[in-house]
Amino acid sequence: MNPAEHLASFGRISYDTAHLIGAVILMMSFGLLYQRRLTAVIRTYSLQAMVLALAAAWQALVQDAPHLYASALIALLFKGIAVPFALNWLVRRLGIHRTVETALGIGPTMIAGVGLVALSIVLVLPVTASSTAMTRENLAIAMSVVLLGLLMMITRRNAVTQVVGFMSLENGLILAAVGAKGMPLVVEISIAFSVLVAMALFGIFFFRIRERFDSLDIAYLETFRGERR
Amino acid sequence: MIIGTVLAGFLCLGLCGLLFNRSPLIHRAVYTGCLVLTSVLVGDGLWHIVQSGQEAIPSMVLPFGLPWLKAHFRLDSLSAFFLVAINFPSALASLFGIGYGGHVPEPKRVTPLFPVFLFAMNGVLISDDAFVFLVSWEVMSLSSWLLVLSDHTNPEARRAAMVYLVMAVFGTFCLLSAFGLLAGPTGAYGFVTMRNAHLSPLAGALVVLLALLGTGSKAGLVPLHAWLPLAHPAAPSHVSALMSGVMTKVAIYGLIRILYDLRSDVGWEWGFVMMVLGAVAAALGVLYALMQRDLKTLLAYSTVENVGIIFIALGLALAFRDHGEIALSALSLVAALYHVVNHALFKSLLFLGSGAILQATGERNLDKLGGLLNRMPITGFTFLIGACAISALPPLNGFVSEWLVFQSLFKGPTVAHWAMRFGVPVVGVAMALAAAFAATCFVRAFGIVFLGRPRSKQAEAAVEVPYSMQIAMAIPAVLCLCLGVFPVMVTSGIATVVEPLVHVVLPAAVLGWPWLSPVSLTAGSYSATMVLLTGAGLMITTLLVVHHFGNRAIRRAPIWDCGHREEIVNSQYSADSFAQPLRRVFGSVVFRAREQVEMPPPGEMSPARFSLSMSDPIWNGLYLGIVRVIDAIADRVNLLQFQTVRRYLLMMFLTLVLLLLVVAVRQQ
């Protein structure tokens, strides 16, 4: 695709809207990194999932692929509502400390995040030179979201924030999946299931840590394994 | 066809041994079966050698193995030769096993594996593709490994088995890579296509190196020999005879197959390398043997020496071939194969002898034996013949083959390169030294075990072993003499075997029977028959002279008591004291042998103590060095096992980011 065509796709409403929604999802990822309170983190995550549902729905409309409505619905109901609700319930039920405990300060994390976004853009744009502009931008944003999710998992101490980071990573994957043309629903369902399984696993994990150590800080787990004295 | 049936027979016997291991009768039956089957193979191999050249090389394709590659078998004259060289000692070991197999610590762990071991070795010989070759090779390694492990309650045997397994895996890995390179990217694993494969110089050199490492580790070439003196003695004696006398020959067969048959353009440098390695193995191997107190370990180290001699001849053959001296190359190969046969014979004989001693006394330690010649005359006499043969005394067979190796070694400077010109004399000296050491070593072994007075109660109570075992030792002893006395027949037989490899028939003897003069009439000739006749003539003359002209008056004098009082047997020469002169001269450098005498202070009644310490330079330097390096790396890597969850995630994340960065940079 030559630059002229590339420029030409900017004016189109389908492209611009998809781009906007993608950017909002990316912003939400930064928001996740920025929040200092657990409830706010969960709320941001919920918002991100809802925007993701919007992105899927928009893609369904633009690509004329009705099965993407189903994945939009899954994203909305399951990720946007059920999971944040469950997490909130966990936080209240377990009486978890409401501040986000960071391993790396908020500022450096944000800078690292910007670097990662730059990396994924540098990486994705040349690789996908032959595909449509929509796919390209979409993939770059999705990859940034995935990397930011990973970043969140490693720079936050609390297990709840790690779970949120993991699920935000999944959001990035789904964003990539809905953006690519002709991706069958099977894949999305499997991804949704994997999140579900992860959720169940982490739920059990929480209770176990809680039962044993009376805290959700994974540092206690490390002490238990004899790595920290 | 016959061979296929026989090989299937081996497997059936193995199964029989496995299923009916309760009855002692079945052990005898299995060994008898092995005896019959190996004898059939010997006959078949001989028949093929005699027939070679007159009819097409029999080959067979069987529909198993890899789906796209059927199992190929072929019996050319080289295979047939090794079939004889391997199955004859195997037949002897089976015969020995009939009487001996019931007395090993755990017969039911040995009997089922014995035929499987034989099966695998024969499988290696007749295979005509890399797949069958490697599978048979690996079955051979594993079955012998299990045989080493048969005495599993003994920690020494367990350690030996562990070292052996590691080295066997290493060897197979090398061979696998060598065949992979030979097969090339198309994966043509048949030997037929490998013969015509064109390799780049680097790949060709790698094939030779890997083949040397792979077969050398199985044959016991220094410094890959470390497992051999541990594993061979740990197995039951008839299996030790197989491992030492036979399995090392299978390795040499593999080397010849790769370097002389599959590859035809190996450079002379490799011949030089093999020659030097062989010389090191020969000299070091026998020096090790000289220091051992355990009879079977001594024999195992002596195997290292003999493998070294075979490698010298093989290396020379390579060097000659690369320089176009085809006739000399044929001579060296004949010498190598002659020594293969000889070593298979007398090493089996000696190991079977050690088995007989072990059964009669329960001892392998030289210092616990002694005076066995009167108690076990047949064993003693056959062991003596084996010891003479391995020490290369004429008119026995060991002399002929070593003499042939020397003859071809003297022709080494024909290869016009300074390395060969300077290398050959050094190798010659090392080999001469090895021959002299071997003689010392076996004088010591025979003298300490069979002469003097018994050094323990067990040795005093020893009785001769059953007839089947005596016969199993007597046959190779007789053959050692025959192969020594009629060398021309053997060399002309081997010349037909070598002919397809070098495309020239070695002139059997310039002077003709009974003179063996391989190079030329003036360069050197040997007639064992003449030596024997002259020796016998001289003996008879001496006897007559003594009888006729000797003083017949009877003198009475106190008998000589061998320099020690009869009741103090410990004041005889011991194994260590016999080796002391050579230990002081060579051992103090090579093995860092240190003798220490602790004298009690004046006035105290306690005895003086003599202690001897030695260290194995190759084991301590090379193997423990490798172990240390691996340990150090493992310690570092082990840190990865004990990280926090977040740090694992961090590592994953950083790796991912790093890889992405690499991709990003390379795109620019």
- Per the structure, the complete domain to which residue A70 belongs is given by 3-224
Indicate the residue type of B241: A
What are B116-133's pLDDT values in tens digits? 999 999 999 988 888 889
Contact: A154, B646; criterion CB under 8 Å: yes
Q: Is-contact B271 B318, C-beta < 8 A?
A: yes
What are B448-461's pLDDT values in tens digits? 999 888 888 888 88
Contact: A122, B664; criterion CB under 8 Å: yes
pLDDT recorded at residue B29: 83
Contact: A218, B645; criterion CB under 8 Å: yes
- Mean pLDDT in residue range B144-171: 90
Cis bond upstream, residue B155 (ω within 30): no
A213: which chain B residues are within 8 Å (Cβ-Cβ)? none
Say if A156 falls within a structural domain: yes
**Which runs of consecutive H residues, i.e. helices, occur in B451-486?**
457-460, 467-485
Contact: B644, A151; criterion CB under 8 Å: no
Which pLDDT band holds residue B86 (cuts at 50, 70, 90)? very high
pLDDT recorded at residue B430: 93
Say if A176 falls within a structural domain: yes
pLDDT recorded at residue B522: 59
CA A66 to chain B, closest CA, distance in angstroms equals 34
Q: Is-contact A33 A115, C-beta < 8 A?
A: no
- Mean pLDDT in residue range B106-122: 87
The token pair at B663 is 């991709």
Indicate the residue type of B174: C
Of B20-29, B128-137, B274-283, the one with minimum mean pLDDT is B20-29
- B619, B625, B626, B629: CA torsion to nearest 10: 160
pLDDT recorded at residue A1: 44
- Mean pLDDT in residue range B41-60: 79
Q: How far apart are CA B472 and CA B93, in angstroms?
A: 7
Cα separation values, A66 from A54, A59, B505, Å? 14, 9, 84
Phi/psi zone of residue B517: left (φ > 0), alpha (ψ -120 to 50 degrees), beta? beta
The domain ranges of chain B are: 579-613, 617-667
* Domains in chain A, number: 1
Which residue is associated with the tokens 């299996």? B239
Contact: A151, B663; criterion CB under 8 Å: no
**Nearest alpha-carbon partner for B325 in B64, B508, B186, B502:** B502
Q: How far apart are CA B40 and CA B91, in angstroms?
A: 10
Q: What is the DSSP letter of B72?
A: E
What are B189-214's pLDDT values in tens digits? 888 888 887 888 888 899 999 999 99
B644: which chain A residues are within 8 Å (Cβ-Cβ)? 218-219, 222, 227-228
The ipTM of this complex is: 0.80
**Nearest alpha-carbon partner for B389 in B405, B373, B378, B400:** B400
- A83, A84, A87, A89: CA torsion to nearest 10: -110
CA B638 to chain A, closest CA, distance in angstroms equals 14
pLDDT recorded at residue A6: 53
Most B-contacting residue of A114, A120, A122 (CB-CB within 10 A), to test interface: A122
Q: Is-contact B108 B162, C-beta < 8 A?
A: no
Q: Report the mean per-residue pLDDT for chain A.
A: 78
In degrees and rounded to multiples of 5, residue B597 shows phi and psi of -115, 125
Size of chain A in residues = 229
Say if A160 falls within a structural domain: yes
Say if A57 falls within a structural domain: yes
Q: What is the DSSP letter of B365?
A: B
In degrees and rounded to multiples of 5, residue B263 shows phi and psi of -105, 135
Judged on CB neighbours under 10 Å (0-12, 13-18, 19+), B451 is middle
CA A160 to chain B, closest CA, distance in angstroms equals 13
Contact: B653, A151; criterion CB under 8 Å: yes
pLDDT of B582 over the 70 cut: yes
- Mean pLDDT in residue range B363-385: 90
Which pLDDT band holds residue B434 (cuts at 50, 70, 90)? very high
Contact: A154, B643; criterion CB under 8 Å: no
- Which residue among A120, A150, A222 places its CB closest to the CB of B644? A222
pLDDT recorded at residue A209: 63
Say if A38 falls within a structural domain: yes
- Mean pLDDT in residue range A16-29: 89
From the centroid of its chain, how far is CA B476? Answer: 16
- Higher-pLDDT residue of A9 and B537 is B537
What are B281-302's pLDDT values in tens digits? 999 999 999 988 899 999 999 9
pLDDT recorded at residue B570: 78
- Mean pLDDT in residue range B611-627: 87
Contact: A218, B660; criterion CB under 8 Å: no
- Mean pLDDT in residue range A104-125: 88
- Mean pLDDT in residue range B66-88: 86
Q: Is-contact B27 B14, C-beta < 8 A?
A: no
Of A6-10, B36-40, B232-236, the one with minimum mean pLDDT is A6-10
Say if A229 falls within a structural domain: no
Residues of chain B with pLDDT > 70: what percent? Answer: 95
B639: which chain A residues are within 8 Å (Cβ-Cβ)? none
Please list, in sequence order, all residues whose beta carbon lies within 8 angstroms of the beta carbon of residue B154, skipping any fewer than 6 positions away: B234
The token pair at B414 is 């024909």
Q: How far apart are CA B476 and CA B409, in angstroms?
A: 28
pLDDT recorded at residue B459: 87
**Nearest alpha-carbon partner for A154 in A120, A192, A210, A116:** A116
Say if A12 falls within a structural domain: yes
What are B465-479's pLDDT values in tens digits? 888 889 999 999 999
- Higher-pLDDT residue of B6 and B535 is B535
pLDDT recorded at residue A144: 92
pLDDT recorded at residue A5: 53
Q: Is-contact B299 B446, C-beta < 8 A?
A: no
pLDDT recorded at residue B273: 92
pLDDT of B445 over the 60 cut: yes
- Higher-pLDDT residue of B211 and B8 is B211
The token pair at B194 is 């490998």
Q: How far apart are CA B192 and CA B185, in angstroms?
A: 16
- The pTM for the full model equals 0.79
- Which residue among A122, A154, A225 places its CB closest to the CB of B650? A154
Cα separation values, B604 from A5, B358, B472, B599, Å? 108, 41, 55, 10
A221: which chain B residues are within 8 Å (Cβ-Cβ)? 645
CA A60 to chain B, closest CA, distance in angstroms equals 31
pLDDT of A2 over the 60 cut: no
pLDDT recorded at residue B431: 93
Most B-contacting residue of A139, A166, A202, A222 (CB-CB within 10 A), to test interface: A222
Which pLDDT band holds residue A201 (cuts at 50, 70, 90)? low
The token pair at B316 is 């020379």
pLDDT of B540 over the 90 cut: yes
pLDDT recorded at residue A71: 79
pLDDT recorded at residue B455: 87
Residues of chain B with pLDDT > 90: what percent? Answer: 34
Most A-contacting residue of B639, B645, B663 (CB-CB within 10 A), to test interface: B645
Q: Is-contact B224 B277, C-beta < 8 A?
A: no
Q: Is-contact A179 A123, C-beta < 8 A?
A: no
Of the ranges B144-158, B335-349, B518-532, which is most confident?
A: B335-349
Cα separation values, A146 from A30, A78, A109, A173, Å? 12, 19, 15, 7
- Higher-pLDDT residue of B257 and B521 is B257
pLDDT of B368 over the 60 cut: yes
Indicate the residue type of A205: F
Angle between helices B24-51 and B77-100 (to 10 degrees): 160
β-pair type (B71-74, B594-598): unpaired
Element (H, E) at B322: helix B295-322
